[in-house]
Amino acid sequence: MTRLLAALFVLLLPASAQSWREQANARIDKIRKGDLSVQVVDNRGRPVPNARVRVRMTRHAFGWGTAIAAQQLLAATPDAEKYRQAFLDNFNMAVFENDLKWPQWEQNRQRALDGIQWMRDHGITRIRGHNLVCPSWRWLPKDLRTLQDHPAALRARVLSHIKDTASATRGLLEDWDVLNEPYTNHDLIDILGAVEMAAWFKQAKEFDPSARLFLNDFGILSARRDLAHVDNFFETLEFLAAHGAPIEGIGMQGHFSTPVPPEKMLETLDRFAKLNKPIRITEFDFNTPDEQLQAEFTRDLLTVCFSHPRVDAFLMWGFWEGRHWKPRGAMLRRDWSPKPNYEVWRGLVHKQWWTDTTGVTSKDGTLTVRAFRGDYSIEVPGAPPVKAVAPGNVRVTLP
Say whether both 155 and 286 belong to one domain.
yes
- Domain harbouring 345, CATH code: 3.20.20.80
What does each C-alpha distance from 363 to 127, 367, 380, 399 come to in angstroms? 44, 10, 16, 19
Length of the chain: 399
Q: 146 Cβ partners below 8 Å, 6+ apart?
A: none
What does each C-alpha distance from 103 to 60, 107, 165, 286 come to in angstroms? 34, 6, 12, 27
pLDDT of residue 11: 38
Say whether both 134 and 221 belong to one domain.
yes
Say whether both 264 and 348 belong to one domain.
yes
Local structure of 52: helix, strand or coil: strand
Confidence class of residue 18 from pLDDT cuts 50, 70 and 90? low
**CA 391 to the chain's CA centroid:** 21
In 3D space, the residue among 216, 116, 129 whose CA is nearest the CA of residue 166 turns out to be 129
Say whether both 156 and 206 belong to one domain.
yes
In 3D space, the residue among 94, 255, 67, 282 whose CA is nearest the CA of residue 177 turns out to be 282
User: Which of 313, 335, 352 is the last residue in one of the domains?
Assistant: 352
Instruction: Provide the terminal-to-terminal Cα distance of the chain, rounded to the nearest Å.
Output: 67
| Inside any domain, residue 175 | yes
At residue 313, does pLDDT exceed 70?
Answer: yes
| Inside any domain, residue 251 | yes
At residue 108, does pLDDT exceed 50?
Answer: yes
Bridge-partner residues for 59, per DSSP?
A: 375
Residues of the chain above pLDDT 70, percent:
95
| Inside any domain, residue 331 | yes
Say whether both 115 and 145 belong to one domain.
yes
DSSP summary character for residue 369: E
Residue 213 burial (10 A CB sphere; 0-12, 13-18, 19+)? buried
Say whether both 205 and 292 belong to one domain.
yes
| Inside any domain, residue 296 | yes
pLDDT of residue 255: 97
At residue 79, does pLDDT exceed 60?
Answer: yes
Say whether both 141 and 276 belong to one domain.
yes
| Inside any domain, residue 20 | no
Say whether both 42 and 133 belong to one domain.
no
Say whether both 45 and 93 belong to one domain.
no
Give me the mean pLDDT over the 42-65 stretch. 97
Digit-coded pLDDT (tens) for 167-213? 999 999 999 999 999 999 999 999 999 999 999 999 999 999 999 99
- Report, in angstroms and rounded to the nearest whole number, the Rg of the chain calculated over CA atoms: 23
- Domain harbouring 382, CATH code: 2.60.40.1120
Say whether both 243 and 193 belong to one domain.
yes
Give dist(CA 6, CA 13) in Å, integer: 11
Say whether both 372 and 239 belong to one domain.
no
| Inside any domain, residue 165 | yes
Amino acid of residue 268: T
Average pLDDT, the chain: 95
Local structure of 37: helix, strand or coil: strand
In 3D space, the residue among 140, 201, 199, 118 whose CA is nearest the CA of residue 166 turns out to be 201
| Inside any domain, residue 127 | yes
Range of the domain at 398: 31-51+361-399
| Inside any domain, residue 57 | no
- Structurally, the chain folds into a number of domains equal to 2
Asked if residue 162 lies in contact with residue 217, where contact means CB atoms within 8 angstroms, the answer is no
Say whether both 209 and 267 belong to one domain.
yes
pTM score, two decimals? 0.93
